Structure 1
Amino acid sequence: MSSRQILTSAGALLFVAVVIWTTMPASSEPQGEAERAASPKLATRDYSGKRVSLADYPQQVTVVNFWAVNCHACRIEIPHLQSLYDEYSAKDVAVIGIDREVEQVKQFVERAEIDYPVLVDGWETTQAYHLRATPTTVILDAQNRVYKKYVGVQRIDRFRKDIDALLGEKS
């Protein structure tokens, strides 16, 4: 094998490994109420410039989805998040999307007809939540504590199960 073939093979293998690692479904175990950590501060702006924070969603279960316009897996997940929003928004559940690109987000949100709040944040929130890939979804309980964190595209049933469990705690 020539050194060029070896480098090409190594590059292809590295690419496949990165794709698998960043799209591999992963989640944390649900945390008992006493073990849940407070959510990192989330105070940013929506794509129109309006200031938004978790304090705007008091006593609500919150689904925070970190995504990117140029992430194919994220685009697959968005219609499912919209259906969660449609199903649960009247039941004290908030769905929030967060991306980093203002202009791209605005255009995409309008084309995709996303009704839930979509926020724009540089690296501050991304770093605070220790994200390693998009999409990443963080489920917060009604006290804004981290209940579960998912990396990669997930079945919407998982989110429903978590939301229903947290709504049951509120009863």
Structure 2
Amino acid sequence: MSADSAPQRSNRTTRATERTRRVRRSAALAAGLAATALLVSACGSGGTSGGGGNTNFVTGTDGIATAAKGERTPAPDLSGKTIAGKTLDVADYKGKVVVLNVWGSWCNPCRAEAKYFAKVSKEYAGKGVQFVGINTRDTSTGAALAFEKDWGITYPSLYDPTGKLLLRFKKGTLNPQAIPSTLILDRNGKIAARSLSALSEERLLKMLKPVVDEK
């Protein structure tokens, strides 16, 4: 019996180790899927937003969600390297209205709205408005830089290939849940409005103007 017990114990140990490894792999996969779920592309049809429960925002029939001035939540830390390799912190723009656009060079609706963002960003440059992009799911900055050149985009974009910055937004707030998404931050760095689909110039201005006009 003693001659057989050592191999048996070894086999049991091996099986237990394999089970542990499988559990760990499953946990890691689940975590990866949870992160990816936030970045599900809205390309093609746009996203939908909600405002039920205890949230402090209301979504209009045009898909634009807004929060009243006294019921807004601060944007999370949005800082890092831009696609041009420079350091940027969105918090440095407090005192300005910030238009935050989540985009990818691979995304057809992002290309459709790019010309409007380029145009409006230039028109509002002297009106206390700063545009900032968050480029995501581009595996290198080359394609993103080419995208900006093609569409005449001159404002900076943070480089967020794995969506780490987007995961900093809390659930139940006006968070960017699709690509493209656009947020308007008020002069105090709080989220005033959100769209989860590509914007025309008219809809972009509809989001932006009320926040610019706030006193």
TM over 0.5: yes
2:214 counterpart residue number: 169
Q: Distance in 1 between matches of 2:126 and 2:48?
A: 29
Amino acid at match of 2:66: P
1:118 counterpart = 2:154: no
Q: Distance in 2 between matches of 1:132 and 1:22?
A: 14
1:70 counterpart = 2:138: no
* Residue correspondence of structure 1 range 102-113 to structure 2 within 5 A: 102-113=141-152
1:39 counterpart = 2:75: yes
Amino acid at match of 2:154: D
Q: Distance in 2 between matches of 1:168 and 1:57?
A: 17
Amino acid at match of 2:167: Q
Structure 1 consecutive aligned stretches of length 4 or more whose deviation exceeds 6 Å:
18-21
Residue 79 of structure 2 contacts residue 89 of structure 2 at CA under 8 Å; is this kept in 1? yes
Q: Distance in 2 between matches of 1:114 and 1:132?
A: 23
Q: What are the Cα deviations for residues 13-41 of structure 1, in whole angstroms up to 9, with x where unaligned?
A: xxxxx978852465453211110000111
Structure 2: gaps of 5 or more residues: 1-40, 50-62, 170-174
Q: Distance in 2 between matches of 1:156 and 1:53?
A: 26
Greater Rg over alpha carbons, structure:
2
Q: What are the Cα deviations for residues 31-64 of structure 1, in whole angstroms up to 9, with x where unaligned?
A: 1111000011110211121110112312111110
- Which residue, 167, 173, 179 being the options, matches 1:127? 167
- Which residue, 197, 200, 203 being the options, matches 1:155? 200
Q: Distance in 2 between matches of 1:87 and 1:96?
A: 15
Residue aligned with 1:169, SS: coil
Tell me: CA distance 1:113–1:162, structure 2 relative to 1, closer, same or farther (3 Å). Answer: closer
Q: Which of structures 1 and 2 has the larger relative contact order (alpha carbons within 8 angstroms, sep 6+)?
A: 1
TM-score when scaled to structure 2? 0.64
Q: Distance in 1 between matches of 2:43 and 2:102?
A: 18
Q: Distance in 2 between matches of 1:167 and 1:71?
A: 29
Equivalenced residues, count? 153
2:181 counterpart residue number: 136
Amino acid at match of 1:41: D
- Which residue, 84, 91, 101 being the options, matches 2:120? 84
Higher normalized helix content (fraction of residues)? 1
TM-score when scaled to structure 1? 0.79
Tell me: CA distance 1:71–1:58, structure 2 relative to 1, closer, same or farther (3 Å). Answer: same
